[in-house]
Structure 1
């Protein structure tokens, strides 16, 4: 950041009085510009048929990780709830309509990426889906069919692993839980998928 968004004066990077972190401060109008983590909101769209749960994945048509599989998701916009964001991103990336079926399923902190990623379990309302502008392909996968070595991000892999572990618990009389996880290293490698 070089200029104040309030008065266009050049900003300085310094620690404000009564604070402990350096911030962009405007010496003219006194505005302190806080830079906070971004929220990334994803859905885990599920289609159940014949007692089998399948997950809708998108093959990315954009970098990073062009050609790798992911769950529908993206940055939350102003003036929407996190559930609204999950539904919007699923329509944008997979052309699919969903109903979020439960409270938040997973929260993953990525401090090095300045992100918090939220994952919601969702039910596909129908099988009318198609790739959006950011997807090359969208496809339903049973657990055994998921291309685990081609999953774009460790956050998505972690959410999927938690989903299928909870699904197995559900079949034994358990339930879906809430999962919180911290990933302190970058969540993808430029050349290969990581194992976190």
Structure 2
């Protein structure tokens, strides 16, 4: 058995060994060991750098794809704007044509109504003249008015009056013929304008839908 003094020597020796061991180990590490440690740290740094470069390459590729997609969207937007501009121009043209046709249609309807009214009035006047002539004795009455006179002056007045009546009747007949022809032509024009307006309304609706769909 060790004596107490011997135990103290052993403990002291162990403490010295514990204190001197790191220094001894550090002293034992030579330049090669330090170089290995530096190389290991350098390899780690290189690995980290390669990782950063890979992430950078991925991010650059993503940015390039984003730029490419943005350029495509810009081209698509420019094309849509051009289509919208064309559609709006066509829509404005169709609306102007529709408005012009509507104005012509309204004016034609007004002329047709006025012409029919004038024809009705002229026919009434002519019919009234015909009734009065019939009541006076018709053609025989006019002949009696001209021939059944005793003086030249009376004959001349009767003949002049008969000519005035016949000329007025002729003018009314001619006027009615003109009015009837005008009504037929105006009615035909009105039908054409109505068909044109219907077609333009359909085109206008299609162009509105096309512009709204862009």
Give TM class, smaller chain: under 0.3
- Bigger RCO (CA 8 Å, 6+ sep): 2
Give the TM-score of the pair, scaled to structure 2: 0.16
Higher helix share: 2
CA radius of gyration, larger in: 2
Relative to the length of structure 1, the TM-score reads 0.17
> Which has the larger strand fraction?
1
